């Protein structure tokens, strides 16, 4: 049933709301495994805070001209964390199955938030700018704005994220700088990106925006046999 119908029913018949709440209280809630953290809701916060504290990096920019370089450096820190500093563990379950796109977004937010605050940059996740929510908006005042759209390469709407969603978000925000952040889990994911450079160039040529892209290879690395003994 559509949310609008549920809301209309709830507003017009509060007794039904009370009955529904009482029903939920009777059946109880399902506990969430904080140690396994299958949805990536918990562990990312402390792990990324620890990484940032132990790896201080001074980033700075003077204005619009080098703002895109600042964005690329932020993404590079995230890429290094995932690929080389164990960050990939936080977006995989113990059985090797990758977690959701939302889990990857939370991990990215945990890494870049500190560096943005240090440079007076506001980073806002899932900002609704009229055409739906863009994953991240980084801005300083009204003159510096960059939008970052993250997609898993296996996402069925992957190419739409680059060729339709991100340009529309940039148009709605009246911004020029966009970054398409790609997360891959398998070799098959990487192979899907053979023409990524050509397609990004085509979008820029068509729209006049300054869209760049980055690839983060979040490969699952099971413990070796020696560690399992």
- List, for residues 149-194, the tens digit of each pLDDT value: 999 999 999 999 999 999 999 999 999 999 999 999 999 999 999 9
Query: Is residue 9 domain-resident?
Result: no
Query: Is residue 60 domain-resident?
Result: no
Q: Which of 105, 92, 129 is nearest to 113 (CA)?
A: 105
The model carries a pTM of 0.82
Eight-class DSSP state of 31? P
- List, for residues 189-223, the tens digit of each pLDDT value: 999 999 999 999 999 999 999 999 999 999 998 76
Phi and psi at 35, nearest 5°, equal: -70, -45
More confident residue, 144 or 213: 213
CATH code of the domain covering residue 217: 3.40.91
Q: d(Cα 40, Cα 29) in Å, to the nearest integer?
A: 19
Domain that residue 86 falls in:
67-225
Q: d(Cα 117, Cα 120) in Å, to the nearest integer?
A: 5
Query: Is residue 152 domain-resident?
Result: yes
Query: Is residue 22 domain-resident?
Result: no
| Neighbour-count burial of 172, counting CB atoms closer than 10 A to its CB (0-12 exposed, 13-18 middle, 19+ buried) | middle
Query: Is residue 7 domain-resident?
Result: no
Total domains present in the chain: 1
Query: Is residue 148 domain-resident?
Result: yes
Task: Give residue 214's pLDDT.
Answer: 97
Query: Is residue 119 domain-resident?
Result: yes
């Amino acid at each position: 049933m559509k949310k609008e119908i549920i809301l209309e029913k709830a507003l017009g018949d509060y007794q039904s709301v009370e009955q529904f709440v009482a029903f939920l209280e009777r059946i109880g809630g399902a506990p969430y495994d904080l140690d396994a953290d299958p949805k990536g809701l918990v562990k990312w916060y402390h792990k990324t805070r620890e990484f940032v504290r132990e790896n201080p990096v001074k980033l700075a920019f003077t204005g619009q001209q080098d703002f895109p370089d600042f964005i690329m450096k932020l993404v590079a820190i995230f890429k290094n964390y995932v690929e080389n500093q164990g960050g990939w563990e936080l977006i995989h379950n113990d059985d090797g199955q990758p977690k959701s796109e939302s889990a990857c977004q939370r991990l990215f937010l945990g890494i870049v938030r500190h560096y943005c605050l240090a440079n007076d940059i506001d980073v806002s996740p899932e900002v609704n700018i009229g055409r739906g929510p863009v994953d991240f908006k980084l801005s300083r005042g009204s003159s510096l704005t960059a939008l970052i759209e993250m997609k898993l390469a296996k996402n069925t709407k992957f190419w739409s994220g680059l060729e339709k969603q991100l340009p529309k978000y940039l148009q709605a925000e009246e911004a020029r700088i966009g970054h398409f952040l790609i997360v891959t889990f398998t070799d098959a994911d990487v192979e899907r990106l053979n023409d990524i450079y050509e397609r990004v160039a085509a979008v820029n040529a068509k729209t006049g925006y300054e869209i760049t892209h980055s690839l983060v290879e979040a490969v699952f690395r099971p413990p070796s046999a020696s560690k399992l003994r």
